[in-house]
Amino acid sequence: MADGTATAAPAPLPQVGENDEAKEARLAKRRKLLRILAIAVVTIAALWGLWYFLTQAGRVSTDNAYVGADSATVTALVSGPVKEVRVSGTQTVRKGDILVILDDADQRIALADAEATLRQARQRYGQADATADAARSRVAARGAEIVQAQARLRDAEATVERTRAELARRESIAGTGAVSTEELTAARAALKQAQAARDLAAAGVTSAQATRGSAAGDLGAAEAVVRGTTIDTAPDVAAAQARVEKAKLDLARTVIRAPVNGIVTNKQVQVGQRIAAGAPIMVIVPIDAAYVDANYKESQFKKIRIGQPAELTSDYYGGDVVYHGKVVGIAGGTGAAFSLIPAQNATGNWVKVVQRLPVRIALDPKELKAHPLRVGLSMEATIDTRGR
């Protein structure tokens, strides 16, 4: 142009073949990426499915689980004032450790009285045994007296026979004048005297026999007390011995010891307090024997069986500490069924509520020892229903 301005060169025309090739390349690259992505998704899904099948399938879980233990309530078995308290709340104790000591003055007096009664019973038995021995001696003596009386009776009978014979002999010759009237009278008198002596001897035998019978009765009464027994098995002695043992037991029970290993809780006793027999004074929780009651929904019980393994975690230690346990029992009813006021479902506005049933899981003692739990802590429980 005349004014010297440069004229713009015309734009090049688009090459249709070249653009189609670039578009096809981009589409091919996109399809390749999509295929890779699809393969990756399928692979991840397959791996996740395999992992779930191998590790998670057949596992039922709940976070409605709590630690429990069969706590031991410590009670006083005898009454008395508290002399000493050797433990405090939250203290760990071992089985047999002394917890509380009661004043034992009354029990010591009772023991002394029972021991005195026992000695008295032994003394009475000794007296009864001696009485039986004396009665046996009296029976033997009465037997000897009977023998003596029978001997005297035989002697008196012999005398009667002799005097009777002498009287008969004199009477036979009285007509000849060889025997005087005085001799005949004397012979007759001698016979009567001999007969009287015989009757007296017979009465002596009867008296001796009666005396022996009385002595035998006394012996029977005396032997009835000691027959078939010794000084240790006699009823009175045995009863007195039992009272002594009871007094010793009451004295020993003034020292109250821990019945199990555990932690002292709910302590309700102070020095100087007078407690009655049977009154609870504290509770010992055996944390070494803790278990878990996991409340599963009724829809989860299709495959839950006793003996299956379980894994549990607690907020107390966090998810890094995993407890291993085993299903040891399934409750006989839901919590609602045994509540103080059971649910009344026979109403017009009834709404179904999924019920839960407690499952008891025993924990590994070694894991409990390494990481002790406390009663009432919440847990998360998972049961592997494929396990046996």
- Separation CA 369–CA 160 (nearest Å): 109
- Separation CA 331–CA 79 (nearest Å): 39
- Convert the pLDDT of each residue in 245-302 to its tens digit: 999 999 999 999 999 999 999 999 999 999 999 999 999 999 888 999 999 998 888 8
- Convert the pLDDT of each residue in 357-371 to its tens digit: 999 999 999 999 899
DSSP code string of 323-336 = EEEEEEEE-SS-TT
Chain mean position to CA 278: 16
- Convert the pLDDT of each residue in 96-135 to its tens digit: 999 999 999 999 999 999 999 999 988 887 877 777 777 6
Of 223, 234, 229, the closest CA to residue 124 belongs to: 234
Record the tokens describing residue 150, joined without a space. Answer: 């029978």
Chain mean position to CA 211: 59
Number of Cβ within 10 Å of residue 379's Cβ equals: 23
- CB burial of residue 209 (10 Å; 0-12, 13-18, 19+): middle
> Which residues, 6 or more positions from 169, have their beta carbon under 8 angstroms from its beta carbon?
none
Note whether 271 and 85 are within 8 A (CB).
Answer: yes
Residues carrying CATH 1.10.287.620, the chain: 107-248
Q: What is the arrangement of strands in the sheet containing 274-275, beginning at the earlier edge strand? A: 255-257, 98-102, 80-85, 274-275
pTM comes to 0.64
- Separation CA 298–CA 379 (nearest Å): 19
Residues carrying CATH 2.40.30.170, the chain: 58-70+286-384
Question: What's 58-70+286-384's CATH class?
Answer: mainly beta
> Which residues, 6 or more positions from 293, have their beta carbon under 8 angstroms from its beta carbon?
65, 66, 68, 358, 359, 360, 361
CATH number of this structure's domain 107-248: 1.10.287.620
DSSP category for residue 164: H
Strand partners, 312: 323, 381
Number of Cβ within 10 Å of residue 341's Cβ equals: 6
Of the two residues 303 and 221, the one the predictor is more confident about is 303
CATH topology of domain 72-105+252-284: OB fold (Dihydrolipoamide Acetyltransferase, E2P) (2.40.50)
- Convert the pLDDT of each residue in 177-227 to its tens digit: 666 777 777 777 887 887 888 888 788 778 877 877 777 776 676 666 666
Of 297, 294, 296, 307, the closest CA to residue 385 belongs to: 307
- Separation CA 326–CA 339 (nearest Å): 27
